[in-house]
Structure 1
Amino acid sequence: MTACEGVREFKDMISKLDQSQLQKTVSLLTSDSDYFMAVVRNKYGSRRVQTLLGLSDDVDAFLYDAILRRFLDIMTDKYASYVALRAMVVFDQVKNHVMYTHVLHYALDIACNRHGCIALNEVITDADDPLYRNRLLDVVARNALFLSNDPSGNFVVQHVLKLYDLRCTRNVAVSLRGRCVDLSFKKYGSYIVEKLLEAEESLFVVVVELLKCDVDRLMRLARSEFGNFVVAKALRVTQEMDGIDLFWDLVQKLMPLRHLLVRSHGSNIAKILETCSIELLGDQN
């Protein structure tokens, strides 16, 4: 089951088995959880098991039970997770209902795993049941601060924000209110805050927090390796808005810091402020 040779031949062999032989084969494969895990954790074993999914209701029943017994282990493994994802495509509605319930139960554990976060993002993208999809989005939004500070979980928050689901984006922003500046100092946290700035439902949360930030902290943020991109984006998106009060409020707060930004990571911000300064002088003349 785990040999690199004969993956295609395995599919041909399976197609020649009668129903009784096929059931016996899958029964032997799934009767021992440790053996099943050893197979699906293997690159080639995972592929072979995926070819078994959907062949018959009886075969799916054996595989369904085996997957549920080690659900978290499977969803957080690089190759085994492909088996679970494939199962969620081919299983009937009843089995899928239980699979989704398990995903919801283990969502945070899956999200905080380097392979699990990828699998969870796939589930969120491909979920065809709007009820469960929304429940998953709610779990991510409700735990957005925790996930945003996790090396793997932050990718899940980034992913849901890229879906541009207005309700979820607003809920993520609510969860991160008051913590956007902290996140902006971090590499992946800054990506999340930048995504919040792309939606009207959430950009106000970020911009208001920047405006309330004390000058010294704002200066450090604007000069920091990752925070400078957040501040620059806040300037750009507010400038493009119909009502530009927020833009000029930001400019007014940042303008005294312009000379400190020139020779730093904040040089991009300094250029924006310089353009604004020229505009102001032109208006006065």
Structure 2
Amino acid sequence: MFPVGASSSVYARSGYHPPPNHPATNSSFASHAKHDIPPPSSRRASSDQESVRFANAQLDDFKDHLYELAKDQNGCRFLQRKIEDTSPGNDYVYAIQAVYNEIHSHFVELMTNSFGNYLCQKLLERCNNDQRDTIVSIVAPDIVNISLNMHGTRAVQKLIEFLSTPEQIKMVTAALDPSVVPLIKDLNGNHVIQKCLHRLSDEHRQFIYDAVCQKCIEVATHKHGCCVLQRCIDYASDKQKIQLVQEITRNALTLVQDPYGNYVVQYVLDLGDEDFSDGLIRRFIGHACHLSAQKFSSNVMEKCIRVARPDTRHCLIQEFIDPTAMEKMLRDSFANYVIQTSLDYADLKQRNELVDCIRPLLSTVRSTPYGKRIHGKIFREQTRTQQHTPSFQSQSRRLMNHPDV
């Protein structure tokens, strides 16, 4: 939030004295400001008068001027009330037709208007199929530009929500198709694509999956795109999900190192489908040490080790069992966490190999916070093992004292 102004008391409290020509001390400026800006009480009175103007008005009182009313705050509210009021005293069907007749040709402009967009949304809810057909045909050529607008995006989402015939859907999707990726990457436009994913059938939203798969890296490595790509997975049919995961898997090595793309990779791993995750994780075999030392991919490598099939996990961890690689990883602020996770999830034989590789290096890294953690993890595990593995002598004594011996 930014302050909208400061009074003289603010300057006094802070000890700040404005320069001689500053507006706060310029009497001429203050005099003009006093006359140019109406006081709050005057503005409230003007607003109240506008409200009273529409209080008991009838639609016919403004015939041929509804387009102008649609762009006025109070006028827009008045028109909305008229087309949604189903009480016996109001002929809302007549109101819908009257408003439609005067504004439908201006729909492109009104959808991006700060007030008019609300009337457009309400009319899209209430109009019949024939009226909506006409509106869609008018809007479709400009639907991308409208979607990029902060007001227009809401009106387009409402339009998509109330598409009611195959012809309407075809017109809208054909108009959006060439610009799917630019819309996904836009602050406003991405919500239109998400509405298509949510409201349209598998068949009618296929154009989004085709576009996303064609530009997978561009979409997945964008701050809005990575979120939309996750929603694509959520709403996908089985066939669309396979199409999408295959493309993500193909580009996994690039995506996993990106600040946004890594979340897409993790989202696939979180699906819990072993067929998907195993193919994805195997893309990282041969790159495990490098990826473990990267800021974004190190988190993914930890997750891979946790969820991988035993044979795939074994391949990943085996890359760490090398004295040169291990020393670098133990000293790295990211990779050391991957080593800690490996110690937790490796099978017994491979864990012993990890410990044997780590132990000679502990003295060189023990003073670092990471080295202390790994040393503690190994020491605690050894202590537990010793406590649960009785010595040969104690085993013999218990055996000799057994009543059956």
Q: TM tier, shorter chain?
A: 0.7 to 0.9
Q: What is the identity, as a one-letter code, of the residue corresponding to 1:182?
A: H
- Alignment TM-score, normalising by the size of structure 2: 0.62
What are the equivalent positions in structure 2 for 1:1-285 lying under 5 Å apart? 1-5=111-115, 9-32=119-142, 36-53=143-160, 54-57=162-165, 58-127=167-236, 129-201=237-309, 202-211=312-321, 214-238=322-346, 243-266=347-370, 267-279=372-384
Q: Which amino acid aligns with 2:146?
A: V
Separation in 2, partners of 1:81, 1:47: 11
Q: Is the 8 A contact 2:285 2:315 kept in 1?
A: yes
- SS of corresponding position for 1:114: coil
Deviation at 1:9, TM superposition (A): 4.6
1:206-226 CA distance string (max 9 Å, x none): 211112xx3233122122111
Q: Could you tell me whether the CA contact under 8 Å between 1:162 and 1:195 is conserved in 2?
A: no
1-structure distance, mates of 2:361, 2:113: 63
Across the two proteins, how many residue pairs are aligned to each other? 275
Larger helix share, 1 or 2? 1
Identity over aligned pairs, percent: 23
Q: Distance in 2 between matches of 1:6 and 1:197?
A: 54
Deviation at 1:132, TM superposition (A): 1.9
Q: Secondary structure at the match of 2:227?
A: helix
Residue 5 of structure 1: how far off its partner (Å): 4.9
Aligned partners of 2:146, 2:315: CA distance in 1, in Å? 48
Question: Deviations for 1:135-157, whole angstroms, at most 9, x for unmatched residues?
Answer: 21111112211212233322211
**In the alignment, is the contact (CA less than 8 A) between 1:147 and 1:153 conserved in 2?**
yes
Q: Structure 2: any 5+ residue segments left out of the alignment?
A: 1-110, 392-405
User: Per-residue deviation at 1:277?
Assistant: 4.3
> Per-residue displacement from partner, 1:42-63 (whole Å, max 9, x unpaired)?
3432222111114312332221
Relative contact order, higher structure (CA 8 A, sep 6+): 1
Secondary structure of 1:197's partner? helix
Q: Residues 274 and 260 of structure 1: is their aligned pair in 2 closer, same or farther, counting only changes over 3 Å?
A: farther
Is 2:222–2:260's contact at 8 Å kept on the other side of the alignment? yes
The superposition leaves residues 130-189 of structure 1 with CA deviations (integer Å, 9 ceiling, x where unpaired) of 122112111111221121223332221121111122112111122111111101111211
Distance 1:67 1:265 in 2: 53
CA deviation vs aligned residue, 1:189-237 (integer Å, no higher than 9, x gap): 10110111112424223211112xx323312212211111111111112
Distance in 2 of aligned mates of 1:246 and 1:5: 66
